[in-house]
Amino acid sequence: MAQDFVKKKATRTPSRTSTTKKSVGSTQKRKSAAQARSNKTEKRKTNSRKPSSPKKTAPFWAWILISICIIGFGFFLTQLSSKENGTQINAEETNTKEPTEEQISQVKFDFYEILKGKEVNVDERVIEKTPEQKNITYFLQTGSFKQLSDADTLRAKLLLQGLPVSIEKTTNKNGQEWHRVVAGPFDTRSKLAKARGILASNEINSIVLKR
């Protein structure tokens, strides 16, 4: 009986060790599951705590493009307003109607009617008695000298050019005598102009005298 009791004890002991092993394995499983849960929560926290991305700002060339567009739009508005003013002026000019032919003829007719009322009778005898204008002769004074010899030198030079020349003696207010060299007479303006051209070609100034 004693041997049987010992065997029973011997057989009972391994069952306890197996239960302890099972309890240890279950606790390890629980720890690993809890650790996995904690890892998941930490990952969620790290994902939620990610740094926020910086705000995107427009590049520098975009601002330049925007400013160019604004300036171009303003220039377009100014050009548009100037064109509108030009078209308005042209419209006003076209609105001013030109006078018709009937209006022009009416004005001419009224003008002639007014002239008829303003006619003045002139005595023909007065016209017949008006004296005729005398013929005007022209002379060219080419120089004035105190010395007669100087006047003779210029006179000889002008005679070689084919001009009629004479010397006239005059006295000024102070009683001094002067000798004028005068070319002429010339009865027409064409002859006078021809003589002046000859004097100008010889670099001689002249003064026109009417007598």
pLDDT of residue 6: 46
pLDDT of residue 179: 92
pTM, to two decimals: 0.36
**Residue 104: which H helix or E strand, with range?**
helix 101-117
Domain residues of the chain, as ranges? 143-210
pLDDT of residue 5: 46
pLDDT of residue 126: 47
pLDDT of residue 211: 80
Residue-wise pLDDT for 73-118, tens only, equals: 888 788 777 666 665 555 555 555 565 655 555 555 554 455 555 5
In terms of DSSP bridges, do strands 138-145 and 165-171 run parallel, antiparallel, or are they unpaired? unpaired
pLDDT of residue 64: 86
pLDDT of residue 90: 58
pLDDT of residue 103: 57
What is the architecture of the domain spanning 143-210? Answer: 2-Layer Sandwich (3.30)
pLDDT of residue 49: 52
- Ranges of residues in the chain whose predicted pLDDT is under 70: 1-58, 82-134
